[in-house]
Amino acid sequence: MDLRRLRYFLVLAEELNFTRAAHRLHIAQPALSQQIKALERDIGVPLIERHNRGCALTAVGEVVAREAGELLAHAAAAQQRIRAAVAGRQGQLRLALTRSARGGAVDALIAEFRTRNPDVDLVVTTGWTSHNIAELLAERLDAAFIRPPLDTAGLECRHIAREELLIAVPADHPLARERRVTRQRIAAEPVILWPRENGPGMHDHITQQLWPNGGPRIIREEPDDEQLLLSVAAGTGIAPVPEGRARALRIPGARLKRVTAPVPTVDLALTYKSHRMAPALKRFLNLIDALPGADG
C-alpha cells in the first residue's frame, strides 16, 4: 500500500475538507482528489462521503484512518532506526577483548562508547589474541583487541596503548628486594608464562626483549595472568606481566619489579577487516582516534 496516499488520506481525515487538507499538504486540490480516489481503488471500497461543506468518513474510512496513523508512525520510527544504523548510532558491534588487557584503557573505551551510543547492541566476549583473530577471520566478530605484532593478511590494526612490562617475583625471592632487575639477573631464573599459541607475536616479542640471549627457562605454563601471578606467589618462578593487568589483579605474595633500560613494553591494538566495516565499528574507530596520543 502506498504510504504517501495513506498520509494524504490521514490529513484529509483530520480536516474533513479537501481545500484545507490540500493546503496542509502543499499540493493542489485536484491532485489530492486523485490520490484519494487511487487509494479507494487500492482498497476496493469508498473511504469518504463527499458533500457540499466537505466530506465525512465511511465506516471503512474510519478504520483506514486509525490504522494509517499507526502504520505511518511505525514507518517513521523505522526510517529513523535505519538512518541511525547507517550513521552507526544503532545496530550491533561484536567485539572481543584480550584477557591480558582487561581494565584500564579498554574498559574505559568501551564505557565511553556505550555512553555515546546507547542504542548500539555491543556484544563483548573475551579470548586469547589467536582465538580472537580466528573468530574475526570467520566473520563472527566485527573487531577484536589483540596484542601485536600481528602478521595476518586481510586485517588492519589500530594502535590503542603501550604499557610497560613488569617482572613478577615471589615476595621472598632475592629479586624482591631490588628496585629494578637486570636481564642478566633473570636470565637463569625459572619462568612461568602462558602458551605461545595463545599469541605468538606477543610471546616472541616478550621473550626477545627480556631474554635476548637464548630465551627463558620456562618451567610452567598458565592460561592467564591471574593464574600466572598466583603461581608466582606460590614460589614457582618469576613471570613477565603487563603493568596494567598486574596492578589491577594485586595478587598477595607477588612483587612487581621494573626492568632496567631498555624498558620492555607491550602494545595493545584493535584489529578488524577494513573492507567489511559495520557503521558502528566506524564510530568505535573514531572514538579511538580521539584518544590522547592515538596514531591511527
180 belongs to a structural domain: yes
Q: Judge whether 295 lies within some domain.
A: no
- Residues 177-218: tens digit of each pLDDT: 999 999 999 999 999 999 999 999 999 999 999 999 888 999
Percent of the chain with pLDDT over 70: 92
The torsion angles phi and psi of 277, rounded to 5 degrees, stand at -115, 115
Cβ atoms within 10 Å, residue 227: 15
Which amino acid is present at 227? Q
Query: Across 9-133, where does the E strand assignment appear?
Result: 48-51, 54-57, 91-98, 120-127
254-282 pLDDT tens trace: 999 999 999 999 999 999 998 778 888 98
Quick one: cell of 111?
564505557
Considering the domain boundaries, does residue 294 fall inside one?
A: no
Any domain includes 275: yes
Mean pLDDT of 3-32: 89
Mean per-residue pLDDT for 235-251?
A: 92
Q: What is the pTM of this model?
A: 0.67
Task: Tell me the three cell numbers of residue 250.
Answer: 594485586
For residue 166, list its beta bridge partners: 241
At residue 107 the predicted structure's pLDDT band, cuts being 50, 70 and 90, is confident
Q: Are residues 203 and 81 both part of a single domain? A: no
Residue 159 has pLDDT above 80, yes or no: yes
- Domain co-membership, 68 together with 148: no
Whether 66 and 207 map to the same domain: the answer is no
Q: pLDDT confidence of 100, banded at 50, 70, 90?
A: confident
pLDDT of residue 239 exceeding 90: yes
Domain-embedded: residue 133: yes
Instruction: Compute the average pLDDT of residues 222-235.
Output: 94
Indicate the pLDDT class of residue 296, thresholds 50, 70 and 90.
Answer: very low
Strand partners, 125: 96
* CATH number where 276 lies: 3.40.190.10
Asked whether residue 278 falls in the same domain as residue 155, the answer is yes
> Do 72 and 107 share a structural domain?
no
C-alpha cell at 38: 487511487
Determine, yes or no, domain membership for 296. Answer: no
pLDDT above 80: residue 39: yes
Radius of gyration of the chain (CA): 32
**Comparing C-alpha atoms, which of 164, 171, 154, 169 is closest to residue 275?**
154
**Within this chain, do residues 128 and 256 fall inside the same structural domain, yes or no?**
no
pLDDT at 98 over 80: yes
Same domain? 127 vs 67: no
Query: Please, what is the Cα angle at 293 between 107 and 246, to 5 degrees?
Result: 40
State which of 118-132, 149-163, 209-223 shows the largest mean pLDDT: 209-223
In whole angstroms, give the CA distance from residue 228 to residue 126: 18
User: Are residues 73 and 98 part of one domain?
Assistant: no
Closest CA to 157 of 290, 266, 285: 285
Say if residue 202 is in the same domain as residue 68.
Answer: no
Identify the burial level of 78 via C-beta atoms within 10 angstroms of its C-beta, where 0-12 means exposed, 13-18 middle and 19 or more buried.
exposed
Encoded amino acid at 200, one letter = P
Residues 138 and 21 in one domain: no
Q: Are residues 260 and 168 in the same domain?
A: yes
Instruction: Work out the pLDDT band at 89, boundaries 50, 70, 90.
Output: low
pLDDT at 220: 96
Instruction: Decide if pLDDT at 251 tops 90.
Output: yes
* CATH number of the domain within which 43 lies: 1.10.10.10
| Same-domain check for residues 193 and 215 | yes
- The yes-or-no verdict on residue 293 having pLDDT over 60 is no
- Say what the alpha-carbon torsion angle 41, 46, 52, 54 is, to the nearest 10 degrees: -90
Residue 14 lies in a domain: yes
N- to C-terminal Cα separation, the chain: 48
pLDDT given for residue 70 in this prediction:
80
Q: What mean pLDDT is predicted for residues 73-88?
A: 66
Give the structural domain span for 39: 3-87
37 domain residue, yes or no: yes
Q: Is the pLDDT of residue 171 over 90?
A: yes
Overall domain count for the chain:
3
